[in-house]
């Protein structure tokens, strides 16, 4: 996709610090790491979100992600790994080429979620069951 920075990185038209590459997937260091070793794993083919992504590519991405979690953690000696994928602008996506984050975590590293007030309320089973039923209809 023209003007997509991650397509350009995948095609080696822009520099990046690559740590893994195969036919369909490439992984490189995030230019603004939360912590040392912060990695992005992307399909070489341009998909905007996981919804758009070919299922075979998605499966392979998860396998690579699982393996790289272990390698990154060993390399930077972290205490845990946070994986994230932002799907859409409202979810915080800034680069519109599908990517999974591998973020090494350390106790008290200052990274975290900001939860809304609604998060503090445990919902009634009836309400949760209604929402689950609504979602099941869409599967
Ligand atoms: P998201 O879309 O998941 O919110 O975040 C995009 C991520 O891509 C950010 O963590 C940002 O630092 C990273 N990023 C943006 N531009 C570049 C770039 O040109 N090179 C690299 N390596 N990472 C980038
Ligand atoms: Zn792209």
Residues in the chain: 139
Q: H-helix or E-strand containing 7?
A: helix 5-10
Q: Give the residue numbers marked as catalytic.
A: 99
CATH code assigned at 22? 3.30.428.10
- Predicted local distance difference test score (pLDDT) of residue 8: 98
Question: In the predicted model, is pLDDT for residue 113 greater than 90?
Answer: no
Using a 6 Å cutoff on CB, does residue 5 contact ligand 1?
A: yes
Atom of ligand 1 nearest to the CA of 14: 19
How many domains is the chain built from? Answer: 1
For the chain, give percent helix, strand, coil, nearest 5. Answer: 35, 20, 45
* 125 in any annotated domain: no
* 46 in any annotated domain: yes
Distance of CA 66 to the CA centre of its chain: 12
75 alpha carbon – ligand 2 mean position (Å): 28
Do 84 and 101 contact (CB within 8 A), yes or no? yes
* 12 in any annotated domain: yes
* 120 in any annotated domain: no
- Ligand 1, atom 16, lies closest to the CA of 31
Using a 6 Å cutoff on CB, does residue 89 contact ligand 1?
A: no
Euclidean distance between CA atoms 55 and 61, whole angstroms: 10
pTM: 0.97
Cα-atom radius of gyration of the chain, to the nearest Å?
17
- Structural domain harbouring 90: 5-113
* 137 in any annotated domain: no
* 47 in any annotated domain: yes
- Predicted local distance difference test score (pLDDT) of residue 19: 98
Do 78 and 37 contact (CB within 8 A), yes or no? yes
* 38 in any annotated domain: yes
Summary count for the chain: helices (H), strands (E): 3, 5
The b-or-e profile of 9-23 (16+ CB within 10 A means b, else e) is bbeeeeebeebeeee
- Predicted local distance difference test score (pLDDT) of residue 98: 98
Euclidean distance between CA atoms 69 and 75, whole angstroms: 10
Q: pLDDT of 31-88, one tens digit each?
A: 999 999 999 999 999 999 999 999 999 999 999 999 999 999 999 999 999 999 999 9
Longest dimension (CA), the chain: 53
Euclidean distance between CA atoms 50 and 57, whole angstroms: 10
* 136 in any annotated domain: no
């Amino acid at each position: 996709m023209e003007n997509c920075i991650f397509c350009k990185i995948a095609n080696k038209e822009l520099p990046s610090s690559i740590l893994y590459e195969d036919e369909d997937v490439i992984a490189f260091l995030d230019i603004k790491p939360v912590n040392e070793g912060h990695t992005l794993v992307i399909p070489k083919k341009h998909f905007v979100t996981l919804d758009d992504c070919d299922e075979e590519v998605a499966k392979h991405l998860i396998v690579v992600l699982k393996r790289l979690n272990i390698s990154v953690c060993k390399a930077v000696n972290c205490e845990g790994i946070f994986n994230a994928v932002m799907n859409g602008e409202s979810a915080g996506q800034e680069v519109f080429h599908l990517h999974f984050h591998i973020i090494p975590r350390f106790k008290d590293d200052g990274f975290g979620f900001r939860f809304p007030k609604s998060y503090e309320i445990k919902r009634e089973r009836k309400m949760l069951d209604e929402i689950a039923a609504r979602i099941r209809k869409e599967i």
